[in-house]
Structure 1
Amino acid sequence: MTTSYALTVDAGLRDLRAADHLLQALAAGLALPEGTFGCTHLVRDDRPRVVVSFVLPSGALLGPVRERLTAEGHEVTDGVPDASGRAVVYPGARDLTGTLTVAEVLARSAIDRVTVLGAAGEPEPSARLVTRDHVRPQWQGGDLVLTAMPASGGTLVPFEVPEPTPCCADH
Structure 2
Amino acid sequence: MTPYALTVDAGVKDLRAADHLIHLLAAELALPESAFGCTHLVRGDRPRVALSFTLPSEPLLRTARERLTAGEYEVSPGVPDAAGRAVIYPGVSSLTGTLTIADVLARSAIDRVTVLGAAEELPPHTRLVTWDHVRPQWQDGELVLTAMPAVGGTLVPFEVPAPTPCCADH
What is the TM-score when the length of structure 2 is the normalising length?
Answer: 0.98
Q: Which amino acid aligns with 1:33?
A: P
Tell me, which stretches of 5 or more residues in structure 2 are unaligned? none
Q: Which amino acid aligns with 1:101?
A: T
Tell me how far 1:34 sits from its aligned partner: 2.1
C-alpha displacement of 1:170: 1.2
The corresponding residue for 1:142 is 141
AA in 2 matched with 1:87:
A
**In structure 1, what is the equivalent of residue 129 of structure 2?**
130
Alignment of 1:1-150 (within 5 A): 1-2=1-2, 4-150=3-149
RMSD between aligned residues:
0.7
CA distance, structure 2, for counterparts of residue 96 and residue 122 of structure 1: 20
Q: Distance in 1 between matches of 2:120 and 2:82?
A: 23
TM-superposition CA deviations, 1:82-105 (whole Å, max 9, x none) = 000000000000000000000000
Q: What SS class does the counterpart of residue 152 from structure 2 fall into?
A: helix
Q: Hey, which bits of structure 1, 4+ residues long, moved more than 3 A?
A: none
Equivalent pairs counted in the alignment come to 170
Deviations 1:31-74 (A, max 9, x none): 10121000000001211100100000111111111111111111
Partner of 1:168: 167
Classify the secondary structure of the residue corresponding to 2:62.
helix
Percent identical across equivalent pairs?
A: 76
SS of 1:103's equivalent?
Answer: helix
C-alpha deviation, 1:168, in angstroms:
1.5
Give unmatched runs, 5+ long, in structure 1. Answer: none
Q: TM-score, normalised by structure 1?
A: 0.97
